[in-house]
Structure 1
């Protein structure tokens, strides 16, 4: 009996090994096409630069305030590689996760069309596009998640669950919601479903998540003297103590889901409502045709949403849309499985479902491709300024907030710190942000009246960069 089971596992592993390679190649090409405008000179968020420069001290505070211990170890590598290479590696890991997840979820007996479509639908995840701008920091965490997905193609469901606690603990130290991707893999990989098995899996995941939290708390206690992960002040937390505090934080929960739906729908009202509508419709199809599978997928989604609600109500913070990758994972698998079931015959609903999948992939691919291009003006402008910095023998002083000029707003620059980091990336020279350390800067030079937002002035061997953003009614969400 044991030998027979072993042979079946070996045959299944061989079938999925043969299927994984072409699906990964298709997914990788799609990921590179999607990020084409960002590939050679990728956009880097200001707090992702420490990972790019392998500057561990600059990242140290995130071990306390975010529990990012795996990422901190990555910062200790002392090897600085080009940003484009790091971004290519990140996208390759994402493609590996997506391909392996699709293969493991659909199984070796599924039509290749549905496996590829599931992979492509995962590629156009809006939350992943948002978080990919922190690619330097997230490489090790995504590598852990991708490895777990690949293992799911070759291991049994039971073997995968034995590994789940270890991977949850490690991935939690990279990004809080990464463990939810591991749960999605376990749910997708489960073939023999039952209420008892689902309860066991949920219990295992929740216990693993609690152990991961306690592990980070213990590390912080031993190293920082704080048992916990205190939320950084810049997040403006309002801890919900008691029923009154939780009720007071309800607006933050509302803003969390408003931002998420807006970003998921690419800011267009018809698309904002389309994804929730399609998800509910697909879940209803599974509820009628494959009720246990629907229960597994709904339970995974519920766990992810519950963790989001707890953060918003208990900690009093707005959870950013980039944390909702898990939603798109469960959404994609639910919709593709529903369409696959509807396509078992030659009926109208199956054809409509397949066309809808292609429509979502096409529309979101185009929109995310354009979104990656919103940083083009910032990239080109900073390269021009870098030429002036290279030609400067003395210090470089920056006055004003470069994130508020037109190019900065379009690129979604989040801090004035982004420019000094960007100039250091391009030139190797350190510019002084005078708004941050005014005592180390000379007096702000006078300039003639002008409508320009950027002024480059030279006095002696020093370069002065002055930013005077035009008044704008736009607010950053």
Structure 2
């Protein structure tokens, strides 16, 4: 059993600090071309590159709608209903770009994010490659490509932040700034990057969690303030399909807790294989370094608790399917 755990944990060897030489820069991207080529081969062989699919609510972000095309919600309207101001700024340029170019730009940024994240987690080439592929093909992550026009800023900003950790080191204030900015693009990415950071720096779990929570709230405040200035509304007006159920009393709290409970039960049911794999990896990590594993679990628990409380407060419906789950 010990040998099995040892094998599972061989990949975990975080990148040794900041990069200080050209040689280290070269080592960082060693193998990225191979990774990119394999991904391109997959996209072409599967037909995804030839027949690009965009979700209907992504059209407004990437093209000027032709006569007869039914709009969903303009990027400007999304600032009020979702607070995605960074995406609106991006749409001003994206509307003038070919849809295929936007898809390629998203995929390049997504590949870069997966690769850099794998470099952060492991300094060993073979395991970097493995982790990068696991991230690329993870269902919740990969499903975001269906909104490649909307979320192009998200993948590039996230890749840039991870790159900054690798090159200049981890900085809590830069981490907070990233969270605030990314909230204005795709808030769900905050918890994903936070978990990656926690896995590499578990000994900073308290600081990371505190800055995560504070910067998340600052992101909310920034979004609300921009809406107040430009829309006259301090807050977000959720679209009807989200079925928001704000809290007004104990009964509302019970209803929202029940909704969130069903959400997590469905998540465990649909992604049970992923949860089992994660549990085995955590168990193996605990076998070798109990203190850091406990710190990571503690930090992760706080992140999930924070996300859950946000869902309880808003009462938003969450869409869950095999292609991904989103909670807004």
After TM superposition, the score normalised by the length of structure 2 is 0.82
Give the structure 2 partner of residue 20 of structure 1: 28
Structure exhibiting the larger radius of gyration computed from Cα positions: 1
Shift of residue 162, structure 1, vs aligned partner: 3.0
Distance in 2 between the 1:299 and 1:177 partners? 19
- Relative to structure 1, is the Cα distance of residues 66 and 9 closer, same or farther in structure 2, using a 3 angstrom cutoff? closer
Shift of residue 189, structure 1, vs aligned partner: 4.3
Cα root mean square deviation, aligned: 2.6
Please list every run of 5 or more consecutive structure 1 residues that lacks an aligned counterpart in the other structure. 1-7, 265-272, 326-477
Shift of residue 257, structure 1, vs aligned partner: 2.7
Q: 2:206 aligned to 199, 211, 216, which one?
A: 199
Higher normalized contact order (CA 8 Å, seq sep 6+, divided by chain length) = 2
Q: What CA deviation, in whole Å up to 9, does each residue of 1:161-195 have, x standing for no partner?
A: 231122111111001112223323433443xx53x
Q: Verify the 8 A CA contact 1:311 1:317 in the aligned structure 2.
A: no
- Relative to structure 1, is the Cα distance of residues 80 and 69 closer, same or farther in structure 2, using a 3 angstrom cutoff? same
Give the structure 2 partner of residue 426 of structure 1: none
Give the structure 1 partner of residue 85 of structure 2: 69
Q: What CA deviation, in whole Å up to 9, does each residue of 1:123-163 have, x standing for no partner?
A: 11101222211101111121101111122221122xx3231
Bigger mean CA deviation after superposition, 115-124 or 70-79: 70-79
Give the structure 2 partner of residue 177 of structure 1: 188
Shift of residue 70, structure 1, vs aligned partner: 0.4
- Relative to structure 1, is the Cα distance of residues 153 and 42 closer, same or farther in structure 2, using a 3 angstrom cutoff? same
Work out whether 1:134 is the aligned partner of 2:152: no
Work out whether 1:246 is the aligned partner of 2:253: yes
- 1:77 alignment partner, SS class: helix
Distance in 1 between the 2:23 and 2:289 partners? 25
Shift of residue 246, structure 1, vs aligned partner: 2.1
Give the structure 2 partner of residue 363 of structure 1: none
Distance in 2 between the 1:100 and 1:18 partners? 13
Distance in 2 between the 1:25 and 1:137 partners? 26
Q: What CA deviation, in whole Å up to 9, does each residue of 1:316-358 have, x standing for no partner?
A: 1222344569xxxxxxxxxxxxxxxxxxxxxxxxxxxxxxxxx
Distance in 1 between the 2:310 and 2:231 partners? 22
Correspondences of 1:368-387 after superposition (within 5 Å): none
Work out whether 1:99 is the aligned partner of 2:110: no
Q: What CA deviation, in whole Å up to 9, does each residue of 1:46-67 have, x standing for no partner?
A: 1100111157982222101100
- Relative to structure 1, is the Cα distance of residues 310 and 319 closer, same or farther in structure 2, using a 3 angstrom cutoff? farther
Q: Verify the 8 A CA contact 2:85 2:184 in the aligned structure 1.
A: yes
Give the structure 2 partner of residue 161 of structure 1: 172
Q: 1:224 aligned to 224, 227, 231, which one?
A: 231
- Relative to structure 1, is the Cα distance of residues 153 and 188 closer, same or farther in structure 2, using a 3 angstrom cutoff? farther
Give the structure 1 partner of residue 7 of structure 2: none
Q: Verify the 8 A CA contact 1:177 1:323 in the aligned structure 2.
A: no
Bigger mean CA deviation after superposition, 120-129 or 313-322: 313-322
Please list every run of 5 or more consecutive structure 2 residues that lacks an aligned counterpart in the other structure. 1-16, 66-70
Distance in 2 between the 1:155 and 1:261 partners? 37
Q: Verify the 8 A CA contact 1:221 1:227 in the aligned structure 2.
A: yes
- Relative to structure 1, is the Cα distance of residues 261 and 324 closer, same or farther in structure 2, using a 3 angstrom cutoff? farther
Shift of residue 16, structure 1, vs aligned partner: 4.5
Work out whether 1:237 is the aligned partner of 2:244: yes
Q: What CA deviation, in whole Å up to 9, does each residue of 1:418-451 have, x standing for no partner?
A: xxxxxxxxxxxxxxxxxxxxxxxxxxxxxxxxxx
Shift of residue 258, structure 1, vs aligned partner: 4.5
Q: Verify the 8 A CA contact 1:101 1:149 in the aligned structure 2.
A: yes
Shift of residue 35, structure 1, vs aligned partner: 3.4
Q: How many residues align?
A: 300
Shift of residue 221, structure 1, vs aligned partner: 1.2
After TM superposition, the score normalised by the length of structure 1 is 0.58
Distance in 2 between the 1:296 and 1:38 partners? 40
Give the structure 2 partner of residue 152 of structure 1: 165
Q: Verify the 8 A CA contact 1:30 1:123 in the aligned structure 2.
A: no
